[in-house]
Amino acid sequence: MSRISTRVWNGKETMKDTRTRYLPGRFFLIAFIVAWFFWFADAYFSWNGGSQVLQGLLIFLGICGPVAASLIMFRQARSPELWSDYLYRLISLRRINLRTLPFIVFLFPAMICIAIAISLLFGKSPDQFAILFSPAIMTIPALTGIFLAPALEEAGWRGYGVDSLRSRFSLFFTSVSFGLLWAFWHAPLFLINGFYQNSLLSSWLFTTNFFASTVVMAFLVNWVFYRNNRSIIACILFHLSADVSMSFIPAEQFTKCIVTVLMVLVAVVIVIGDYDLFFEKRLR
């Protein structure tokens, strides 16, 4: 194993020398194989009479892909330091920077409300200002995705995946490459009958917006990650706020395109405002 030297990861904290070499290619391959195996199976059963319980189980198992890949990589590394660092980042609330908490909790609800207000100028319905509990959302597969996905994904993506890319590239390029991989990782969900992503296929604009928003989201979550001492809990809260807001506030797809534009503006401000973090040389 090659040695990772002590370097600044988030502007304040340094990564302990783990004498471990990160292997991003292997990690992402495992994450994709696990998720896609179960999600393609779910796609098949969704069109051939599979029960909601079965579909929910397959969605859940697919979401476990990133965290399963992380656990496999940590086991192969055989580094007590790396494993201890992961567990501490996963459970410790002390790593969260309280100054970022309003951003973590309220950014997405605020952006959605602003986007709805803007959409009214285009003739969209004011009924979007509501809390929705529709039958489409209150199904086992949908609720599995909304509430479990943030925890399971972030435990894997921020547990190993993003750090593995960051060990080789600047945070800016890490966010671009991770965002593209993350967006592509969702692809089988578009084939699942009745699933949210499948409904987006009715419009190329809505489909494109999903992938674009995922790439931009990578910048926002990565900033939260490194400005909260690599706290996985902080990322889970941010991801959960985004998913719950998008699911239970009945914003139209046109409005969600406006949300993506607002996300881009926020990401630009963050990258420019935290230039040194995003463009410092890769960790060696």
Ordered DSSP codes for the chain: -PPPPP-BSSSS-B---------HHHHHHHHHHHHHHHHHHHHHHHTTT--HHHHHHHHHHHHTHHHHHHHHHHHHHT-HHHHHHHHHHHH-STTS-GGGHHHHHHHHHHHHHHHHHHHHTTT--GGGSS----TTTSSHHHHIIIIIHHHHHHHHIIIIIHHHHHTTS-HHHHHHHHHHHHHHHTGGGGGSTTSHHHHGGG-HHHHHHHHHHHHHHHHHHHHHHHTTTT-HHHHHHHHHHHHHHHHHS---HHHHHHHHHHHHHHHHHHHHHTHHHHHSPPP-
Task: Write out the catalytic residue numbers.
Answer: 153, 186
Return d(Cα 229, Cα 99) in angstroms, integer.
Answer: 13
How many CB atoms are located within 10 Å of the residue 213 CB? 21
